[in-house]
């Protein structure tokens, strides 16, 4: 079983109708190669050095500056930054909790910040 149409004549007509607009547009585009009007001022050309600066050196410099801004914080912290799997040594974070933190809890935050000897929950990734 094939998906061919029963009439090859219709298929050829569809191909011709698809190509015709492209042929018409390209043949009528001959007016686009006309000279500029005499009343227009002639602008000086751009030097190759300026073109290289604008199209290559400036974008590359911008890329380097943005890359440095992204990587400098991690370069500054070095090995002191938190690595997955290590114990958390900073203050506990509570996203969406009270603004004063775990200390505002009735028990002083003891239940929210377990010590090193208690079992820790969360997303440690160890099962």
Give per-residue burial for 13-24: e unless 16+ CB within 10 Å, then b. Answer: eeeeeeeeeeee
CB 112, CB 92: distance < 8 Å: yes
Q: Is residue 61 part of a domain?
A: yes
Q: Is residue 89 part of a domain?
A: no
Q: Is residue 65 part of a domain?
A: yes
CA distance 41 to 23: 34
Express as a percent the part of the chain with pLDDT over 70.
67
Q: Is residue 17 part of a domain?
A: no
Q: Can you give the pLDDT at residue 100?
A: 72
Domain with 54 in it: 48-74
Listed ranges 28-37, 54-63, 68-77, 106-115; the one with the highest mean pLDDT:
54-63
2 CA to centre of own chain: 44
pLDDT digit string, tens, across residues 33-63: 677 788 888 888 899 999 999 999 999 999 9
Q: Is residue 60 part of a domain?
A: yes
> Residue 114 in 3-state DSSP?
coil
CB 112, CB 101: distance < 8 Å: no
Residues 3-19, mean pLDDT to the nearest whole number? 81
Number of domains observed in the structure of the chain: 1
CA distance 30 to 27: 6
Say which residue, 100 or 109, is predicted with more confidence: 100
Return the number of other C-beta atoms located less than 10 Å from residue 2's C-beta: 4
Q: Is residue 68 part of a domain?
A: yes
């Amino acid at each position: 079983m094939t998906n061919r149409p029963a009439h090859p004549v219709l298929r050829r007509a569809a191909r011709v109708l698809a190509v015709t607009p492209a042929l018409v547009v390209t043949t009528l585009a001959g007016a686009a190669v006309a000279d500029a009007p005499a009343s227009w001022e002639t602008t000086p050309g751009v030097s190759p050095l300026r073109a290289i600066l604008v199209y290559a050196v400036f974008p590359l410099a911008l890329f380097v500056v943005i890359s440095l801004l992204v990587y400098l914080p991690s370069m500054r912290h070095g090995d002191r930054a938190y690595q997955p799997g290590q114990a958390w040594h900073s203050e506990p974070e509570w996203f969406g909790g009270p603004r004063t933190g775990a200390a505002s809890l009735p028990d002083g935050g003891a239940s929210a910040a377990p010590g090193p000897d208690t079992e820790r929950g969360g997303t440690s990734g160890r099962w």
